Amino acid sequence: ATFMKFLVLRLIFSASLIALAMWGIVCNQLNAARMRITLFITITGLFSLSSYTLLPDGSDNAIMLGYSFLPLLIMALMTIVPLTLLEGVTYLILITTFFITTHLLVGSLFTFNTLSQLWLLLLLGAIALWVEITQLHMLMRLYREATRDTLTGLVNRRILSAKIEEELALNSMQENNLCVLLFDLDLFKRINDNHGHHTGDLVLQAFAGILQEHSQGDIVAGRSGGEEFLSILPRCNVEAAIQLAEKIRVACHEVTVYSNDNEEVNFTTSIGVAQHKPNESAQDFLIRVDEGLYQAKAAGRDFVSVAD
């Protein structure tokens, strides 16, 4: 009878893990991943608890030892998942709660072996927390290096392109206004030639700071290449986009950069503005705002021009 109960319990446990794995294939969202980890710990904890309660008194110590390793195994598996400190502590508490509850039910919590296992479990949990946080920091650093322009700290061209595609997809469903601003620092090559590339880098960083100051809410600003920058303005009409462009243009007049020779260097920007048209592709949208920028430069630079 005990054998059949264990057989059924193991079949249920295996089927639950298979179902959990299949769910992971079809759903890759962050909240779903957290829920899968919680369910994995819960399913394994319940299996361990049920197995202990099914074992008859006087069971083989080797069998008991095998089941006692389950919480330690779960804790060790947690080291492969990059988690925040809060998430790691939450899962550690959940695993420890199952361990304590199991041994309370079978009346073995305050034995020397169980307390030794509890100490080992908490020690392994502390190591797992350190490994999880280290992995998370490494992944965040790699993500930042892959998505950010190293000089200005703004998002790079790849992220800008992905963001535009994302906003256009939302636009097609919700019919929200979407505008973009394309910036080009005027006569930037002259700054590099006259004052050196280090000063040119300081100008780029100063302009990036201006963009960050004016990128409130869900506005995304990034460096699209060289001395060109792009701002994506979701849920923004062309009138509001023009106002923001003018504020940024004027803000450039108020910033001064100093060269290595302590010489004052001022800069201006030309800005193209475009509002997305229905059924317009991302490529056509960017071509049109580029035409707006060309018009601004043709008008004498330090100018805002709206693309037709």
Kindly list the catalytic residues.
227
Report how far residue 130's alpha carbon sits from residue 79's, in angstroms, rounded to the nearest whole number: 9
308: which residues sit within 8 A by CB, 6+ positions away?
288, 291
